[in-house]
Chains A and B, each alone.
Chain A
């Protein structure tokens, strides 16, 4: 079913040819300081409405809540104690010993402290486990290789851009909402309320009301040769933007570095092209299980099993025809 996973990458495979490199994000949550500059930059650039009513959510420093129609970047805050940190170290270590796509550091590491070559001899004694830690992670649309939202959109409003990103044309979308239920990451949402102005002064109508909305990977900036607003503004380079293959390489290198220092809680999310969405355009380095950050542990694009689902639909239809035929044959006058 027109799944785009493949060596060529989504941009080439959806007909843009080979002159375009797939773009994406590498979000290294281990150096995020939770400043939310990305959230603000995104809101400003895209003139997205406010979510909620300036509430304090009571969830650490996160008063945004979740990704949604009006929030295309969301910084998660998680507070953890020693016990949970140890669990995270353990689960990270297991990922490696499971033979998950392994650690393969570049022999000439970009970072000075990187041991080259085989890591099995490296001393993996973890540093002292801290008593407490904050996890901060800036979440965003994954720009999936096999994007559920794109597959199911019946109007063709969602398209694959030449940068390999997934973009909604809000002037085409009719707000059917099918895409919302097909995103395994709970990213895209229909904007049902909200204007550009804050709650107190609600006069302008948002022309994008009633249509699906999510991160565009700053398509409007990319076509002008700019980088996205969120990564441009990130003061720690926790969010880096660039060519997808390079980013994936950097991410692997970084996780290898961290593991080498005993910080085995580090792991990658989205770099594996064999996963349920064919790998993501936005990849993440996480310091705990994905669900801790509100990410699904095993996302699967629904389209993957659509042939099977259609087969059931066909069988059900055939069964119904048979039932009607038998009813007419069996009915006495």
Chain B
């Protein structure tokens, strides 16, 4: 509505400016511009530069959706959970094929990583002391809820198996007393339970990130579980190559190589399936660098495992490269998602595109905006 007749007399509009024209506007507090003590009369907003929202195609370039408050501990958790899951599977395989060293090491790695991972997860809560509130309920609609139960179950079983292994290593010196036979009897069921939960522990994090509206993760929904399971496989393989003599680590090397293949393929397929604006955070900036290095290290580690894995030194170096690669992948994917939220175009453009695609396909009744 025209408020005054002077509106007709406005100077012609300047051509629209686009984002990123290099001008940064400084925000000021009221105190800074002369209202602080009331002694100076106020050209309060004199030199504040105002912007037009439509310069952006969004509301002043502000984010439309919010990123979860997840920081580095969550990336660490994603990584450690993956190592734990993969190691649980390796331990079971080693138990079945009578590879005692691989079995022992994998079980200990599983226990250590799932323990540290849980600490990292709790650390990132707003109210860590209420961690147990997640045990109030089981919610199928919440990957976080199901995941917590998987982690909890896996950690308990790993505790049993880890205690057994430590007891064996120390020549039955743990002060277990009457619990020892019980623990021994629990080995079978516990390792069965562990092997059931292990692959879920490694892959559910894909659903955890995928079941969000963070543009890059949302777009990767269909691929993140594959990526994370692959990354977990190569990391667990790497951990076993570092800890276990080459004679028993054959399966770990193969698993690591398979993990590398899955990792590289699923990352590329995930990127292919994305809108360019959703893909960009995975390829640029710090997350982009992390992911490039993750891929290089993974490939190097995979080749090392296949070709040089029978040398203890090469195996250990490749294993370390694989572990690093997996950690970088988790940090890269987590940070790319957090980054993708900052630019509203990454939300608005893909959404407009999918809405337009549905309209073009003749579906016109499911839009949130309606003519009446």
> Which residues of A come within 8 Å of B, CB atoms?
1-2, 53-60, 62, 65-66, 68, 76-81, 83-84, 92, 95-96, 98-104, 130-133, 148, 151-157, 172-178, 180-192, 209-212, 252, 255-256, 259, 267-272, 274-277, 280, 286, 289-300, 302-303, 305-306, 308-310, 312-321, 323-328, 330-333
Chain A min CB distance to B246 (Å): 11
Check A328/B368 contact, CB under 8 A, given A180-B66, A210-B127, A297-B348.
no
Check A323/B255 contact, CB under 8 A, given A2-B140, A54-B30, A132-B10.
yes
Interchain CB contact under 8 A, A326 and B254 = yes
Interchain CB contact under 8 A, B262 and A319 = yes
Which of B63, B69, B137, B218 has the most chain A CB atoms closer than 10 A to its own CB? B69
Chain A min CB distance to B353 (Å): 9
**Across-interface contacts of B206 in A (CB, < 8 A):** 309, 312-313, 316
- Candidates B1, B29, B228, B348; contact of A291 at CB < 8 Å: B348
Check A302/B130 contact, CB under 8 A, given A56-B45, A292-B54.
no
**Across-interface contacts of A80 in B (CB, < 8 A):** 52-54
Q: Measured between alpha carbons, how far is A104 from B223 in the docked complex, in Å?
A: 43
Interchain CB contact under 8 A, B372 and A256 = yes
**Across-interface contacts of B33 in A (CB, < 8 A):** 56
Chain B min CB distance to A149 (Å): 10
**Across-interface contacts of B65 in A (CB, < 8 A):** 183-186, 296
Give chain B interface residues in 195-241, CB to chain A under 8 Å.
199-200, 202-204, 206-208, 210-214, 217-218, 221-226, 228-230, 232-233
Check A332/B355 contact, CB under 8 A, given A79-B52, A98-B364, A103-B372.
no
Not counting A175-B126, A296-B347, a sample of 11 additional A-B residue pairs whose C-beta atoms are within 8 angstroms of each other reads A2-B141, A131-B7, A132-B10, A174-B126, A174-B127, A185-B65, A190-B69, A276-B368, A298-B351, A306-B211, A309-B207
Which chain B residue lies CB-closest to A146? B141
Interchain CB contact under 8 A, A294 and B59 = yes
Report if B90 contacts A (CB, 8 A). Answer: yes
- Candidates A186, A317, A324, A325; contact of B64 at CB < 8 Å: A186
Interchain CB contact under 8 A, B141 and A56 = no
Interchain CB contact under 8 A, B134 and A268 = no
**Across-interface contacts of A54 in B (CB, < 8 A):** 29-31
Interchain CB contact under 8 A, B226 and A154 = no
Report if B2 contacts A (CB, 8 A). Answer: yes
Interchain CB contact under 8 A, A98 and B359 = yes
**Across-interface contacts of B347 in A (CB, < 8 A):** 296
Stretch in B107-115, B143-151, B164-172, B284-292 with 4+ CB within 8 Å of A: B143-151
